[in-house]
A and B are shown apart, each in its own frame.
Chain A
């Protein structure tokens, strides 16, 4: 074994400087791509949000894949494998499910989107169920509940990553105030992201996603190869892994979280929900043609799970063998050298690559760290862009200023992007020094339910695309019920009701359900039941309307 803790080779001392150079180059390239996107733009709303509906295969594949995974791809998911062992590798099986849905949902969404000039998911859902403000507002609320926590948490991740890249850097005085690496990292990430989203819209976002996607997947595979080589090849690697304790080699894993039913419902519902969230829905509209989405579906279903199953998850398994977590009073804690579960990949590559490759290894470490940043930025930019579309099209244009021109809406979209970025950055910086800062804590709580909220659009999506038996009232009632159920799983009921018997009852019931199933699935089940029941007793949509909608979906 080559590990000697806390003893990096001399070349690793240059990590901060090399990271700085790689990071500066990366940011400059992003801004350049943003500028080229601006030069190619046409100034219309459709161009700003959908890049003229002409995205080809490479851009569509990479932007959908890069948006699908945030920094969780290199930090959170390996962190779970490190904590719970091989049980969590089964999570990779959710990806072919999402991949198949890119074609099954995407081709229909794209066709009708092009024919009827939809921009947001609210446009399509409201058009089918009758363009009422309630339906549009509910869809916008679900989109908002998904998008906002994601933007904020990615900015926060940028701050932490800057701290990790430059641990020895001093504070920098700007305008009389001292800024630490956290604040500088979060600010740099948000400002650069805001700039290229702002100037180039979807075109810049998607083009930067291509670069970020390549960095992300390259980083995942390089990290896996480095881990294998350092442990003596595939044989040596699995020899180390076979020494893991029995609970790390079986379900439900050391923490007891991953029961088969829970894993299965996560694999089905979380993956589909991540595909019908506002940012991805817009990407489905933006694809050039059906063939693009079909190929994208195939590439996504094969490449992305391979990167996880045969790439980054192996790094975490190797990390578990080398730095076994500790158990203290039934609580699993990361190895002291690792510090946090999420840091396992960073620790592994920082240890291995400089030792194996010298200065080239240090450069690779810097590139992988930038890949983590790229993962954060690719999610932040897509969500920021989607938030702008949702607030402009579904709220400003329909409720505040109906009949506004395309150009006006494109500019309002830009104002939303600036406002949302500054608000998110302000909240992140305010919450950094104060862990009890209420707004940020509340948003962090919502983050865990974000995908579950997005899942509440699944019943109406299935109905619109395939079944077409639901009614307007049924759809609204289903969504309200689904959102309410998901809220029960967040800390909000306790905050509202205090230490009452009802709040305890809710907590214990949701605790049992959460241990058994995915939260999104729980909301989905109630949502479907209410949707079907209410639709049975309320006024059906006009047959002619359903037929014309169906025709536009298929042709």
Chain B
């Protein structure tokens, strides 16, 4: 939930404000997520490298030459064309899309957000 509030800070500010009014308290101060507070520039650089490598891997493995690992030859009658009832190439595309999306999501939450 806290991640959701990171994405929509106004929601969190609104909720905290309503709570504080209800309880008769002073509105709380907002604070940066722990991932940002604790990360040093070196750590961030390393993480950026890892996420870039993960994204590049998804591009090479998904639409790139990596697809040849699972691509069923059209001329081979025994080739496995389906995986769990779905075309294996489609499942491969969906999987590597998931990896790309994960890399961008991690970058957003762990790298791109920084103190204002």
Contacts and interface: CB of A to CB of B under 8 A. Distances in A.
Interface stretch (A8-16, A257-265, A469-477, A493-501): A257-265
Interface string A242-274: 101011011100000000110110111000000
Contacts of A301: 100-101, 104
Contact of B104 (A244, A268, A302): A302
Interface residues of B, number: 41
B63 interface: yes
A84 B104 CA distance: 29
B15 interface: no
Interface stretch (B20-28, B29-37, B72-80): B72-80
Interface in B61-91: 62-68, 71-75, 77, 79, 81-82, 85-90
Nearest to A263: B63
Nearest to B51: A100
B89 A99 contact: no
Nearest to B112: A294
Given A297-B104, A297-B108, A93 B93 contact: yes
Contacts of A298: 7, 104-105, 108
Contacts of A87: 89
A264 B104 contact: no
A264 B71 contact: no
A302 B101 contact: yes
Contacts of A261: 64-65
B43 interface: no
Interface in A75-118: 86-87, 89-94, 96-97, 99-100, 103
Majority secondary structure, B binding face: helix
A519 B93 CA distance: 23
A86 B82 CA distance: 12
Contacts of B19: none
A514 interface: no
Given A96-B97, A241-B87, A246 B79 contact: yes
A166 interface: no
Nearest to B108: A298
A68 to B, nearest CB: 16
B67 A260 contact: yes
Interface in A316-336: 317
A242 B96 CA distance: 21
A268 B71 contact: no
B63 A250 contact: no
A291 to B, nearest CB: 8
A250 B81 contact: yes
A90 B104 contact: no
Given A235-B85, A241-B87, A250-B89, A90 B67 contact: yes
Given A96-B104, A268-B59, A251 B89 contact: yes
Contacts of B103: 96, 100
Contacts of B85: 235, 238-239, 242
Interface in A277-322: 294-295, 297-298, 301-302, 305, 309-310, 317
B17 interface: no
B97 A264 contact: no
A90 B7 contact: no
A250 B73 contact: yes
B50 interface: no
Contact of B71 (A244, A251, A294): A251
B67 A86 contact: no
B60 interface: yes
Contact of A86 (B66, B90, B112): B90
Contact of A99 (B65, B94, B104): B104
A96 B101 contact: yes
Contact of A264 (B55, B64, B74, B79): B64
A297 B90 CA distance: 24
Nearest to A294: B112
B57 interface: no
A317 B86 CA distance: 12
In the A-B complex, the 10 residue pairs with the closest CB atoms: A264-B64, A96-B100, A263-B63, A247-B74, A90-B63, A301-B104, A246-B74, A86-B89, A249-B81, A86-B87
Given A264-B65, A301-B101, 11 more contacts: A89-B90, A94-B63, A242-B81, A242-B82, A249-B74, A249-B81, A250-B72, A250-B81, A251-B67, A295-B7, A301-B100
26 contacts: A90-B63, A92-B93, A93-B63, A93-B96, A96-B97, A97-B59, A99-B104, A100-B107, A103-B107, A235-B85, A238-B85, A238-B87, A242-B81, A244-B87, A246-B72, A246-B77, A246-B79, A246-B81, A249-B81, A260-B68, A261-B65, A294-B108, A297-B104, A298-B104, A301-B101, A309-B94
